[in-house]
Amino acid sequence: DIQMTQSPSSLSASVGDRVTITCQASQDISNYLNWYQQKPGKAPKLLIYDASNLETGVPSRFSGSGSGTDFTFTISSLQPEDIATYYCQQYDNLFTFGGGTKVEIK
Amino acid sequence: EVQLVESGGTLVQTGGSLRLSCAASGFTFSKYWMTWVRRAPGKGLEWVANINQDGSEKYYVDSVKGRFTISRDNAQRSLFLQMNSLRADDTALYFCARGTNTIGPWGQGTFVAVSS
């Protein structure tokens, strides 16, 4: 089984800050990685697919990078509406989510 | 607009059974893989199972193999999850979602509570 280690588990940042979340796979998954956002009380939403591609309609302040085992998700300028938990997900071998990162406003 | 509406979640005793349903609209249901994902209280998302367009391929997370069965009825545009031998650690909000490798859109979820 492929394990996904996501960090940090939570973070607090100010509006306008750059926020970075990392996700490490237990083995090479090429670019078979997605990022999702789940706001409180809402269904998860796909933001980034294939490690670095922005889903249609998602603001350009969100971005993703990486390949192999190490991946990064970035919010270039944190906005109040970005308060959510973010998850990485691999689909190289079945499907595994990372543990999630809860993002709060300082 | 794509809509996925889950139902069937409730309180059930350990060892019991439950069938979750997901009603789909706004897209050609028969053309898509479908997926169940769950989120236990205080925990992250966990992929549970998925099924291909005609139901001939099904995959499960190890923890539910032999207990849960995913199925679909394309004529009724519905996805199902039959859950048997339920355990306390199956307690979660269960989401239905379109797609497989890339999952979305998602429904709002239906909550299953397993208690002794």
Q: Bridge-partner residues for A66, per DSSP? A: A71
Q: How far apart are CA B86 and CA A22, in angstroms?
A: 34
Q: Which of A85, A95, A99 sits opposite B47 (nearest CB)?
A: A95
Kindly write down the DSSP assignment for every residue of B20-33, as one continuous string: EEEEEESS-GGGS-
Question: Which pLDDT score, from 0 to 100, does residue B73 have?
Answer: 98
- A–B CB contacts, 8 A cutoff, strictly below: 60
Q: How far apart are CA B68 and CA B37, in angstroms?
A: 13
Q: Which of A1, A55, A97 sits opposite B45 (nearest CB)?
A: A97
Taking only the tens place, the pLDDT of each residue in B83-116 is: 999 999 999 999 999 999 999 899 999 999 999 8
Two structure tokens written together for A53 = 């591609």
Tell whether the model's pLDDT for residue A83 goes beyond 90: yes
Taking only the tens place, the pLDDT of each residue in A34-79 is: 999 999 889 999 999 999 999 999 999 999 999 999 999 999 999 9
Nearest alpha-carbon partner for B28 in B75, B64, B65, B92: B75
Q: Which residues of A touch B100 (CB under 8 A)?
A: 91, 95
Residue A80 distance to chain B (closest CA, Å)? 22
Helices (H), B3-116: none
Q: How far apart are CA B67 and CA B80, in angstroms?
A: 14
Residue of A nearest to B109 (CA): A43
- Residue length of chain A: 106
Rounded to the nearest angstrom, the gap between the alpha carbon of residue A82 and the centroid of all alpha carbons in its chain is 12
Q: Span A1-28, mean pLDDT?
A: 97
Two structure tokens written together for A12 = 């607090």
Taking only the tens place, the pLDDT of each residue in B9-57 is: 999 999 999 999 999 999 999 999 999 999 999 999 999 999 999 999 9
Instruction: Using DSSP bridges, classify how beta strands B110-115 and B11-13 pair: parallel, antiparallel or unpaired.
Output: parallel
SS3 B52: coil
Question: Which pLDDT score, from 0 to 100, does residue B116 have?
Answer: 81
Is it true that the peptide bond before B105 is cis, omega within 30 degrees of 0?
Answer: yes
Instruction: Compute CA distances B16 → B36, B83, B116, whole Å.
Output: 19, 8, 10
SS3 A65: strand
Two structure tokens written together for B89 = 């650690």
Residue of B nearest to A41 (CA): B108
Taking only the tens place, the pLDDT of each residue in A91-102 is: 999 999 999 999
Q: Span A74-85, mean pLDDT?
A: 97
Q: Do A46 and B103 touch (CB under 8 A)?
A: yes
